[in-house]
Structure 1
């Protein structure tokens, strides 16, 4: 299912508070962005126990129960996990990954809040969740009859939301500080091959193992952990970032002229990280219109041209990375700055030679 409008994790609780209490909801989202934990937190905020059923681990009889004789007549006895006396949150995780027969078994539970003669207690909520087919995750087509029984909400990863959560939940400072600088690295599309990819869950896992080792772990061990948890490009950049932390070598020092660009061949990954961080800083702080630029914005643009010249002397590839177009082929930096780069950088390079 394609998303027309998406919401962030911070927007979801209020939405569920008004929607899930009256109609069943289905959350769509990529693997690892926190769907399950958000549902559990929402249930806790209502004072409800969250009962999770995994669609991939169910058979139809796990829902409709098995027949029993009562007064000479047979009836289906719903499973104990569902048949409760007090209201609760029924979380149907990986619902769209379940077999068609299991999806059919959910119909009456989702629409009528009933299994056989058992009816969910008043005040209960039903929430489903699953990945999209485009996420290269296990997902089956959802029958139109089931689609029409649910209100669909599409969740997207939000660096701001995750960093706010991370600050309160003991996420390793290296992970937090890195993603503050590179919020675009929080999540990446799941690859078509079997390899790690970046997601809030992946960064949380990396944080846990970093805490386990302590900050004095060897660089090769750090590389093993990073490349085994997040996407390769992000792992390489994170490894370079940790080098800047350990050697007190950061972009701010380069911008202020307190440190040069790293030149040694063994520091090439560090140079790439600083170049990407430099690009991110320019994208964030350079104004779209030079006439409306603050003094600090103009100073940054002037200083950036000198730094680009110095960077090009070490690695033309890194310098081109700074001013390259975005993933969609559009200019990432303001047009006025790119014009000035084209006009002034050749002159500055000639003056230095």
Structure 2
């Protein structure tokens, strides 16, 4: 299931506060963006215990219980994990990955808040979560009967929200600093093959492993260790970018220094990965700081744009291929840089090249 209307992690608690307390909610989202953690945090905010049931590990009897004979009649006794006296948050994780008969067992629990004769205590909330079929994750079609019993909320990853959380959660400073520069690397679409991919969860794992290694990541084998960890948790492209970023830190390189004229593009063949990272960061900076309409550009922005055109020339002298990547369309065929800048760059490039040749 896809939706053009989504919410960020920062906006989710307010939505749940108004919706989950009156109707069951189903959270859709890609793997690793923190759905489970956000539900547990929401339950904590309400002062409710969060009871998690994993749909892929359940059988129908795990929900409806087993029959017992009482006074000559049979009745189902729901499991102790569900049949509680105090209100709680029932979290049905991977609900849409459960077998069809397990999904059916949830019907009365979700709609009527009861199983057999047991009824959820007043004040309890029911929240489900699952991945989408397009995420290449285990997801079964959700029956219309079940889908119609839920309020569907689609969650999207937000670098700004995650970085705000990361600063206070003890995430490794290298990761916070890198994703501050490259927020677009926080998440990547799940691959169709068995390989690591970037999510908030995988960056968190990388942080934990870097912290576990301690000072060794700064030692003689530091690059080897960080390379092993990064390629074991992130996409190959993001891992290479992260390693190149660390190279900038360790060699006093940085885009800001290049923009100010205090440093030059690294030109050594051994620094080609570093040059690629800086060019990608340069591209992201241009897309962020340049307005779509030139009329909205302040004097400082126009000065920045002029400086950027000169840097493109310098970059092209080192690697025309990498310079072209700065102004090329993205993988989806979209042009991230404003058209006026590309036109100005095309007009001014010959003059800038001639000026540099005359030095």
> Aligning the two structures, in what range does the TM-score lie when normalised by the shorter sequence?
over 0.9
Q: Give the Cα–Cα distance (whole angstroms) in 1 for the partners of residues 151 and 288 of structure 2.
A: 36
Q: What whole-Å deviation, never above 9, does each CA across 1:26-81 have from its counterpart, x for those lacking one?
A: 00000000000000000010000000000000000000101112122211110000
TM-score, normalization by structure 2 = 0.96
Counterpart selection for 2:224 from 213, 220, 224: 220
Please identify, of 340-349 and 126-135, the stretch whose mean Cα deviation from structure 2 is larger.
Answer: 340-349
Q: Give the Cα–Cα distance (whole angstroms) in 2 for the partners of residues 109 and 244 of structure 1.
A: 55
Question: How far has the Cα of 1:327 moved from its partner?
Answer: 3.1
Which SS does the other structure have where 1:6 is aligned?
Answer: coil
Q: What whole-Å deviation, never above 9, does each CA across 1:262-310 have from its counterpart, x for those lacking one?
A: 1111111100000011111111112222233212201111111111111
Over aligned residues, Cα RMSD in angstroms? 1.0
Residue segments in structure 2 that go unaligned for 5+ positions in a row: none
Which SS does the other structure have where 1:302 is aligned?
Answer: helix
Q: Give the Cα–Cα distance (whole angstroms) in 2 for the partners of residues 292 and 74 of structure 1.
A: 75
Find the counterpart in structure 2 of residue 299 from structure 1.
303
Which SS does the other structure have where 1:126 is aligned?
Answer: strand
Find the counterpart in structure 1 of residue 22 from structure 2.
22
Runs of 4+ in structure 1 displaced over 3 angstroms?
none
Asked if 1:101 corresponds to 2:94, the answer is: no
- Write the mapping of 1:252-331 to structure 2, written as runs, cut at 5 A: 252-331=256-335
TM-score, normalization by structure 1 = 0.98
Question: How far has the Cα of 1:16 moved from its partner?
Answer: 0.4
How many aligned residue pairs are there?
353
Question: How far has the Cα of 1:347 moved from its partner?
Answer: 2.4
Which SS does the other structure have where 1:7 is aligned?
Answer: coil
Find the counterpart in structure 2 of residue 181 from structure 1.
181
Counterpart selection for 1:341 from 330, 342, 345: 345
Find the counterpart in structure 2 of residue 67 from structure 1.
67
Asked if 1:352 corresponds to 2:352, the answer is: no
Asked if 1:205 corresponds to 2:205, the answer is: yes
Asked if 1:132 corresponds to 2:136, the answer is: no
Q: Give the Cα–Cα distance (whole angstroms) in 2 for the partners of residues 213 and 157 of structure 1.
A: 28
Q: Give the Cα–Cα distance (whole angstroms) in 2 for the partners of residues 120 and 281 of structure 1.
A: 52
Question: How far has the Cα of 1:225 moved from its partner?
Answer: 0.6
Question: How far has the Cα of 1:351 moved from its partner?
Answer: 3.4
